[in-house]
């Protein structure tokens, strides 16, 4: 899915936190968004996900404004993802269940993504009792299981071990190639964004620099 942002302004009281003149995100590309804390990165991602309103400007997705049907094709993964107090499996299949996907397809897709993120052995564990790295892998599994067209990631590998980082990065790159997914990823790790991303967006005080 292509995304075009034009003259985007977001303010909190009198402070401008996002001020984007024009920026485009092309289907099939991975974008890295980086910058200091407070640069507006997370706010930008939440606006793109439809989780926060903006004050002025426009965002179009394949030449359409964001509405309920398009929001079903976008997924946002926060730095500290929320997992339901249920099994890992129930957490992962939740997006498929609310979309009334056939049970056989649910089972197949869940198995595929759990194998990919190496969480199959956690299937029956209570999701709220996982380690930080395990929680992040389960949350990413849930985000990817319904084949979104746009994946928005806020620090998906912050504070986790190198082995888990490698698993997560490989899953992101694989899904990007297989499904022509548009991926926008916030990261403070410059080496990571250089390694993974087609384009890097540096932000400072809400602007692209």
pLDDT digits (tens, 9 = 90+) for 80-111: 889 999 999 999 999 999 999 999 999 999 99
Q: What is the CATH number of the domain that holds 149?
A: 3.40.50.300
Integer CA distances (angstroms), 176 to 5, 24, 26, 180, 194, in order: 21, 17, 12, 5, 16
- Whether residue 10 has pLDDT greater than 90: yes
Q: Could you read off the pLDDT of 42-76 as tens digits, one per residue?
A: 999 999 999 999 999 999 999 998 888 888 899 99
Residue with structure tokens 């849930």?
Answer: 142
**Which ranges of the chain would DSSP assign to H, the alpha helix?**
41-48, 68-71, 88-97, 103-116, 132-144, 162-179, 190-196
Instruction: Report residue 43 as tokens.
Output: 């706010």
Name the strands in the sheet holding 199-204, side by side, starting at the edge strand that comes first in the sequence. Answer: 74-77, 150-154, 182-186, 30-35, 199-204, 207-208
What does pTM read for this prediction? 0.94
Look at the chain and report how many structural domains it folds into. 1
- Whether residue 159 has pLDDT greater than 90: no
Domain of residue 201 covers: 3-208
Q: What is the mean pLDDT of the chain?
A: 95
Integer CA distances (angstroms), 139 to 7, 82, 130, in order: 32, 8, 11
Q: What is the pLDDT of residue 62?
A: 92
């Amino acid at each position: 899915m292509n995304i075009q942002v034009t003259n985007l302004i977001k303010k909190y009281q009198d402070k401008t936190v996002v001020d984007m003149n024009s920026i485009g995100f092309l289907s099939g590309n991975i974008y890295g968004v980086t910058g200091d804390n407070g640069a507006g990165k997370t706010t930008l991602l939440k606006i793109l996900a439809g989780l926060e309103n903006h004050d002025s400007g426009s965002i179009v997705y394949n030449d359409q404004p964001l509405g309920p049907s398009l929001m079903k094709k976008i997924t946002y993964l926060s730095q500290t993802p929320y997992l339901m107090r249920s099994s890992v499996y129930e957490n992962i299949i939740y997006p498929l269940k609310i979309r009334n996907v056939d049970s056989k397809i649910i089972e197949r897709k869940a198995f595929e993504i759990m194998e990919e993120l190496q969480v199959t052995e956690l299937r029956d564990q209570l999701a709220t009792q996982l380690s930080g790295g395990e929680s992040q892998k389960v949350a990413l599994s849930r985000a990817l299981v319904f084949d979104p067209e746009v994946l928005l990631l806020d620090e998906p590998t912050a504070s986790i071990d190198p082995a888990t980082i490698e698993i997560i990065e490989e899953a992101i790159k694989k899904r990007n190639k297989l499904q022509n997914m548009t991926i926008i990823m916030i990261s403070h790790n410059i080496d990571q964004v250089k390694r993974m991303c087609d384009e890097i967006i540096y932000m400072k005080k809400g602007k692209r620099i």
